[in-house]
Every structure is written in C-alpha cells, then in structure tokens.
Chains A and B, each alone.
Chain A
C-alpha cells in the first residue's frame, strides 16, 4: 500500500459520497443520508492516512518534509480540510444537505490533482526557500481559510437556488435548510475563513521576512491574497455595518471565492516568488 493508492481511493470515495448526498437530497431517505455521512467520513480518514503515509514515504526517500510543498500536495490537503470542516458543520447544525456541495468540491479538487497533466504528483525534495517551519504554518492556515470559503461559496450557491424557487415547486430544493440558516451559515464560514486567511497571510509574511528579508514584496500571489482579504473584509463590513444579508451577501461570498481561486491557480501563470506552486 502506498500513498498514491490511498489518495486514488480517496478520490473515488469522495465521488461516491457526493453521489449519496445527492441521492439523499432527492429521495430524502434517512438511510441514504447516513450512508453519505459514513462514506464522507471514510473518505476523509483515507485522505488523512494518505497524507501521513506520503509524509513517511518522503522520509524513506531521504528528503523528508511535510507533504505541503507543491500544487498536488496542497490540493490533497485542501480536499481533506473541506471535508473535515463540512463534517463538523453537519454535526453541529444537524443538516446533511450542504454535503451535496462540499463533497463535489473535494472530489473535484482531488480529481484535478490526480488527472491534470500540469500537476506533478511525485514526491520532490524541498528547494532551499521552502525549508522552513513557517511553510507548514502558512499552508495549513491558508488552506483552512480556503476550505471555509469554498464551503461558504457552496452554501451561497444553494441560497441563490433556493431564493429563485419561492413557491417551493422544485421538490429537492424544498429540502434545503431555511434561507435564514443558509445566510447565517455563510456568514459563520466567512468569519472562520477570514480569521485563518489573515493568519495565513501573516505567517506567510513572517516567513518571507525570514527567508528573503522582506515581509511584503508585492509579488502577484501576495497582492492577490490581499485583494481576496479585502473582498471578504468588505463582505464582513457590509454585513456588520450595513446589515446586508441574503442575495447581496451570497454574491459577495461568490466573488470572494473567485478571488481565492485566482489567488490559488491563476497567479501561477504570472511570474513571482510563488510560482513553484505550478510544479
């Protein structure tokens, strides 16, 4: 058994979980809901095991480092955090509907990581700039933030779909949580994500200062993470100061996630300190 087998199983299991969550959305049988939850739980366990195994394998290769050093590894970690955060929400709010957006996101991230020809899944040695404990703190906190924003994005989409269908004509939409709950959940997720995005940016700049002697160099990734930060700061101010809610908030959350996606993928097309991410 090696880590890439485990991670392939993870991809498959997330796909299956997504299928079950959709099924439970449509048929509303408690059994499918349970099945979905257990599948997601299995998936995340295998995912975590895969990450740990990959970590150990890197030591066996004599280049030991935490598996958070390139695009492939970050996507794997991203999927793991999405599902962990989602499962916590499912437990706390006792609703499994959001699983129908969270598991497809995790599945897509895993599938993209394994299938994209631009992404190298080999364990590579760390280049000198990445040899720092700040790397671990930086990546973990950034991705906790990104995962929360991803879920907020999913919930906002659900909110907008639900809003469209005010008379409750479409059957499976009527199983969605109340709009008010979706709205509040988006806000909660964004607050959580914002805290971690902030810590992520901060640990990143402390790291940059210890590696290059400058805590902020306006490289494209830094600039875009700042733009993302401002979008979500706007979200939070609109909500807390102006009392925005509902549709406008959902749109802001979607806009914010677009900025996250661009920070994550788009920026690799531009030159800069972070371009190792494309490897």
Chain B
C-alpha cells in the first residue's frame, strides 16, 4: 500500500496541507515571539474575570521593588510601568513555547520525508543462505528483483535453541562479510540484534532445513513429487485412520462422508506465520455442505493439520515424508533466512520521532504565561491586583495566579 500511487499522493497532499497551514500561521506567531518589547495590554488584564486582590501596607513604589525581585525570579521578562492609578508590573515567560505546534508539524513532515527517502533510495530484500555457503545478491521483497550487495555474506553456522516447553529460545546465525575475497567483518546475529555494514542491515528472520546434500537434492528433482502420494485421513468422530493414495489435481473422496480433498500444488519451501516450514502440499478440503478451506500439509510436521480442529485431520503418509527427507539427523543442514535492508531515511524518521515527542510535550504542557500585578494607591496603603493569562491551559494558570498572590501577601 505504501508504494501505491494514491497512497503517496494522499501523503503528498497532507504534507502540503500542513506546510501551507503552518507557514500561514507561523508568520503571525513569529511576530508575537520576536517582538522587541512585548506588548502588554493593561485594559485586557483589568477585564479578566479572575483576579486576586489584597491590601499591601506600603506605598506602590516600595511594594513594586519587592515584588519585582520576587517575580523576576520566576519569569524571564519583567517590566514596571506607571499607570493612571499607580504602578504596574508586567511579567511573562515561555513565549517561545508558541513554537511547539510547529515543531510537531515539522516532525510529521520529517516522518513522511524519511519514509519517502526510504522508499526511493532504500530496499527491503531477503536471502536464504545454507550453512557454509555465501551469497552476493538478494531478492527484493514484493517485486522479486535480484540486487547485488557489493559484498558477500557467508553463513558460518546456524543454531536454534528451544526452551523446555518446546518454544523457540534463540535463532543465531554466525555471519562473515567478505569483501574482495577477504573476510572483513564477523558477527553472530540474533533477532533484535542485527548486523550493520556499509548502510546495509542484516536481520535474522527465519530458517529452515536443507534437504541434505546436493546429491539427494537431485534425486528429489528426478522424482516428481506429484506421483505416488499417500495421505492419512483421521476421522475425529470414529477415531479411524484411512490411508489413501492421491495425485496432484485429482480430488479424493474422504470416507465417512467427510467431504472431498484435492492437492493443488507442491511447494519446496512453504511459509507459515513468517516461518519457513519446508516442503509441503497445498490442498483444498471441501467438507460436506460447507465452504471449502485451504489446507497446508508440511511433510515434516504430521500434526500440523490438527491445529485446524476440523472433523478430519489430514497428514502426509510417513513413507512420503521420509522420501523427501532422507537425511539422518546428523547430516541435516540448516539454512538461515535473512531480511536485508537499506534505509537511508531512517535517521530523518528518528529525528522526526524525537522532535515529535519534544514538540507534543511543549504544545500540551507548557504555555506562554503573562502576569500583571497592578498596585493602586489607596490613602496610606496600596491595593494589589494580581491577574494572569496564558495561551493554553487557562485553568492551571488561574491556580498559578492564586499561588503567586499568596506568596506576594507574605512578602
């Protein structure tokens, strides 16, 4: 989908949208952020509904010097102005947080750009390397094109280990990079710990067993796998096992009226859940009065079809499995399945990730805060009016104003 034209077109449209909107707004925000003398509008503070008002025992002049030193410790910018009724301290901080949104939008653009760079200049491919063999080219995913790497990858060894309960514990491939005929780099890779060389990343992704030895391999080729297949049908209801000969493409009737089964093809290396499970027949089972289902019959896993929990369990006869896998355990060879990628856009994407987190934090949890402390002369004393606004999260700002007013009273 990522490669389809309409998807890329939508992404392009989205990017243009964000860019245009952001630039449009940015010019206004820019003026606010880079104003030489921040503009304070006293009448706006006066009309705010939430204000903290208390009486100070000194003159406006004296109070303002005390207050200003206190306020300037919390706010980046303060200024004292005379007003028609006395004095006024303006303070503000975090003006720059108005950029937060643009950081977020920039990060989105970086993600899209990184994705684009990756799909234009990178590739995603795979390779299967038998133990002790090497490759110098890979197949590209989806298209199947062949691409040379510029170096060779040798698989020295492949190991798989299991937990006691049979679940896989670790897949480990020992790889050597060979350049101009000389080994230049060695590393054991496991899932989550790839090999990286010259911008190309090699990941452990699957594995499989080789039909051991090239000689036997040829024999298998001579013998057409479509001949002479014995299938086992185990009926769940009666518990009986039926052995029936089958030929690719010819449906067989399953006893006990359990339906029809036909093998449609033979695969040398079938995949299940992203794992290579070796040779398998692919078939279609049509139970009586029900929808047909696709069925995979791996030669080395006779219990595979049990997972389907159908009324009949189908497997390939033992003789058949042996024929295709004549090797003893000792000379069994593995091959390792590798995902091989190059993505020069990753660092653009990662920069976008970091900017996005920073930007979202700024946008949501910081705001441009402005305070106004007006001190009005009333006979001997002064009346102090504390108010404040912020461009976001006004509730929190009100609490802030309250707290600051309480501190000022006690100064």
Q: Which residues of A contact B (CB under 8 A)?
A: 63, 124-125, 127-129, 131-132, 184, 191-192, 194-195, 198-199, 202, 205-206, 209-216, 218, 240, 271, 273
Q: Which residues from A are CB-within-8-Å of B194?
A: 210, 213
Q: Which residue of A lies closest to B356 (CB)?
A: A198
Is B365 interfacial (CB 8 A cutoff)? yes
A212 lies within 8 A of B203 (CB): yes
Q: How far is the CA of A63 from the CA of B356 in the complex (A)?
A: 36
Residues of B within 8 A of A63 (CB): 163
CB distance from B338 to the nearest CB of A (A): 9
Residue positions of B touching A, CB distance < 8 A = 1-2, 115, 124, 163, 165, 167-171, 190-194, 201, 203-205, 273-274, 339-341, 343, 346, 349-350, 353, 356-357, 360-361, 364-365, 392, 395
Q: Please give, as numbers and ranges, the residues of chain B lying within 8 Å of A131 by CB-CB distance.
A: 190-192
Contact assessment for B364 and A195 in the assembled complex, using a CB-CB cutoff below 8 Å? yes
Name A192's closest neighbour in chain B (CB-CB): B364
Measured between alpha carbons, how far is A204 from B102 in the docked complex, in Å? 24
Can you name 27 A-B residue pairings with CB atoms under 8 Å?
A125-B163, A127-B168, A128-B190, A128-B191, A128-B192, A129-B192, A184-B395, A191-B365, A195-B357, A195-B361, A195-B364, A195-B365, A198-B360, A202-B356, A202-B357, A210-B192, A211-B203, A212-B203, A212-B205, A212-B339, A213-B205, A214-B124, A214-B339, A215-B346, A216-B115, A218-B1, A273-B274
CA distance in complex: A202, B110 (Å): 14
List chain A residues, Cβ under 8 A from B395: 184
- Does B346 lie within 8 Å of A127, measured CB to CB? no
Closest chain B CB from A149 CB (angstroms): 14
CB within 8 A of A218: which of B2, B124, B203?
A: B2
What separation, in Å, do the CA atoms of A67 and B175 have in the docked complex? 33
- Find B341's partner among A191, A199, A214 (CB 8 Å cutoff): A214
- What's the least CB distance linking B345 to chain A, in Å? 9
Whole-angstrom distance from the CB of A46 to the nearest CB of chain B?
29
A52 to B203, CA, bound (A): 33
Expressed in whole angstroms, the Cα–Cα distance for A206 and B356 within the complex equals 14
Say yes or no: B360 contacts A194, CB within 8 Å: yes
Q: How far is the CB of A84 from chain B (nearest CB, A)?
A: 18
Smallest CB-CB separation from A135: which chain B residue?
B192
Q: How far is the CB of A14 from chain B (nearest CB, A)?
A: 29
Q: Give the complex CA separation of A98 and B203 in angstroms.
A: 47
